[in-house]
Amino acid sequence: MFFGIKYGALSILFGFLCLTVYSTFMSHWADYFGWAAFIIFLVTQVIGLILPFTFLNSFFQNKILETEGALKRKLRYLASTFALFLVYLIIAFLIGKWIISRYQLTDPSFIVLLILLLSLTFSPINSKILHWLEQKLYPEKSRYKKSLKKFIQNMSSFIEESQILDNLTKWISKTMGINPVYAISIDEIARLNIPLQLNSRKSVLRKTRDGSNFFWDEIQDELKSQVNEKERKWARKNNISITIPMISQGEQMGLLNIGKKKNRNDFSVDDLEIFQEVASYTALSIQNIKLQAEHLKKKRLEKELEVARDIQAKLMPRKIPHIEDLQIHGEYRPCFEVGGDYFDVIPIDPEKTALVIADVSGKGAGAALLMSNLQASLKMAISVSLPITEIAFKINKMIYENTLSNQFITFFFCIWNSKSKILEYINAGHNPPLLFKEDNKIKKLYRTGKGLGINQNQKFRCKTLPLAINDILTIYTDGIEDLFNSKYEPFGSDRLISFLMKKKDKSPSEIIKSLFLELTRYAPSPQYCDDITIIIAKRIK
């Protein structure tokens, strides 16, 4: 209240001073300056009456230092500006009066022109005067500013968040004589077990999120219930007086907690301005380090995914083996860099060839790892010449024991016998492959068991069917049917069957090439995607 009365009285006195100057030197120019003098006088009187109540309200809101600081800056600016303005008016008046009396001029427009010319130099001169006043009236602040400038320049050499916070703590403690100083980042709160609540409405983090400072020493008894009790005890235990948020681009990066001055003096407005400035620069530096770390992490991940993509590509057949009575072609298109689809064509002996396709639940690197595990287990089981049902049983058990409960694999496995012209197969939860007959009939090879990894003791049934000349077997993953266009319409099985029927006279490689072109036309920018894998085998003799 005392500060409000003091500055209010100064404002009122300044208004009377302006009125006195006008009445003494400029009264006969009432037509030009009377209204300006009246407005200046009125504004200063209103400000003088409002200031005491503004300070009183600010005190109860624990913002007395911010209000005092803002007021001091405004008063310095207004006082300098008004003083310079009055000097300019007096100069213009005296020069104008001398010229008018000497040359007997009657047109007052000359005075107006002179004022306009003087106004061009008003702003730069006013800025220099304010800077000079700052240095003369607040030399300590100027010293802090110079030291802060050096500290900010050195801050660019720090590559870790902890380095920035440690150096910030040392700089404030040494330069400004304050102890203790705790600079804490948001990430450190949980790691160091500091009792600051991230989501509590009463937390100091919530109260400083908008950039407001928090003054622990000014908490009144009636306001204590509005502050988290654990945080209040922590602040009292560590002798913290002020908590200043470290905010950059609207994101709260941490808190700067200030203790007491070693000389036991109270904090000034200038101290508070330094704290706020260094907190802002620190927040920006921490944010830059985080962004740089995220960029490096992204680059490293991209490199790892590139290696994983190359490894996964090598797990797929680089060249489809030649089979005299079958034309076979297969392709795999992952949704991301790596995926969970798998297909293979594996010669078992001169008469038998295995065709396999699988779809691991999920996408990305996790699905790719599970897929590689499946591939290794399958090739090992085939190498020891186990029956097809036994192969499926062993792989299922391995998948069950080495995956999470929510992971599974849909799996279609068949063996083509070139001598008997018989295809034997199992379908472990996979979408039914399509067999297009020469007479345009379509047969679906439905499931003969659940997906791999669902039931440890799952039994699989084996089925057989003959393939006639020009019969086409199409094995694919559900990424084709589940491809959505911009209208969120799936490609679907009916559209796939219709397309394949039109292309059944072509070779498997031509059919697959045409199919991917059709999928691209259907969904040039798909909203949702999945890995897409397809094998087409056509009996030619």
Q: Is residue 106 part of a domain?
A: yes
CA 156-161-162 angle, 5° bins: 115
Helix (H, G, I), strand (E, B) or coil at 224: helix
* Pair 457, 326 in one domain: yes
CATH number at residue 216: 3.30.450.40
Which residues, other chains included, contact 472 with Cβ-Cβ below 8 Å and sequence gap of 6+? 435, 436, 500, 504, 508, 511, 536, 537, 538
Which residues, other chains included, contact 409 with Cβ-Cβ below 8 Å and sequence gap of 6+? 358, 359, 360, 361, 370, 371, 374, 399, 428, 451, 452, 453
* Pair 130, 188 in one domain: no
* Pair 374, 271 in one domain: no
* Pair 370, 511 in one domain: yes
How many domains in the chain?
A: 3
Spatial distance between the Cα atoms of 473 and 259, rounded to a whole number of angstroms:
78
In whole angstroms, how large is the CA radius of gyration of the chain? 41
Q: Is residue 17 part of a domain?
A: yes
Q: Is residue 329 part of a domain?
A: yes
User: Among residues 259, 292, 325, which one ends one of the domains?
Assistant: 292
Q: How far is CA 492 from CA 64, 233, 429, 496, 498, in A?
A: 68, 63, 18, 6, 10
Contacts 24+ apart (CB under 8 A), 322-327: 323/353, 323/416, 323/418, 324/418, 324/541, 325/418, 325/421, 325/539, 325/540, 325/541, 326/353, 326/416, 326/418, 326/537, 326/538, 326/539, 326/540, 327/507, 327/508, 327/537, 327/538, 327/540
* Pair 527, 432 in one domain: yes
* Pair 496, 388 in one domain: yes
Per 3-state DSSP, the chain is made up of helix, strand and coil in percentages (nearest 5) of 55, 20, 30
Q: Is the pTM value of this prediction over 0.85?
A: no
* Pair 183, 281 in one domain: yes
User: Among residues 137, 162, 187, which one ends one of the domains?
Assistant: 137
* Pair 409, 462 in one domain: yes
Taking residue 315's Cβ as centre, other Cβ atoms within 10 Å add up to: 17
- Please give the order of strands across the beta sheet that includes 352-360: 341-347, 352-360, 409-417, 422-428, 463-466
* Pair 168, 124 in one domain: no
Q: Is residue 90 part of a domain?
A: yes
Spatial distance between the Cα atoms of 427 and 412, rounded to a whole number of angstroms:
5
Per-residue pLDDT of the chain (541 residues; tens, 9 = 90+): 455 555 556 666 666 666 666 565 555 555 445 555 556 656 665 565 555 555 544 444 445 555 555 555 556 656 666 676 666 666 666 666 676 677 665 665 665 665 566 666 656 776 776 666 666 655 556 666 777 777 777 777 777 888 888 888 888 888 888 888 889 888 888 777 788 887 777 888 888 888 888 888 766 554 555 788 888 888 888 889 889 999 988 888 999 999 988 877 777 777 788 888 888 888 888 888 888 888 888 888 778 777 777 777 777 888 898 898 999 999 988 777 667 788 999 999 889 999 999 998 876 677 777 888 888 888 888 888 888 999 999 999 888 888 877 889 999 999 999 999 999 999 999 999 999 998 889 999 999 999 998 888 888 999 999 999 999 999 999 989 988 888 888 999 999 999 999 998 999 999 999 999 999 899 887 555 678 899 999 998 8
Q: What is the pLDDT of residue 172?
A: 84
Q: Is residue 304 part of a domain?
A: no
Largest CA distance in the chain: 128
Strands (E), 262-404: 326-333, 341-347, 352-360
Q: Is residue 306 part of a domain?
A: no
Amino acid of residue 333: R
Q: Is residue 302 part of a domain?
A: no
Spatial distance between the Cα atoms of 56 and 493, rounded to a whole number of angstroms:
75
* Pair 517, 385 in one domain: yes
Q: What does the CA dihedral 83, 84, 85, 87 come to, rounded to 10 degrees?
A: 90
* Pair 380, 511 in one domain: yes
Amino acid of residue 68: E
8 Å CB contact between 536 and 472 = yes
Helix (H, G, I), strand (E, B) or coil at 160: coil
User: Among residues 258, 292, 326, which one ends one of the domains?
Assistant: 292
And the tokens for 140?
């300590």
Q: Is residue 300 part of a domain?
A: no
Domain extent for 21: 2-137
* Pair 380, 481 in one domain: yes
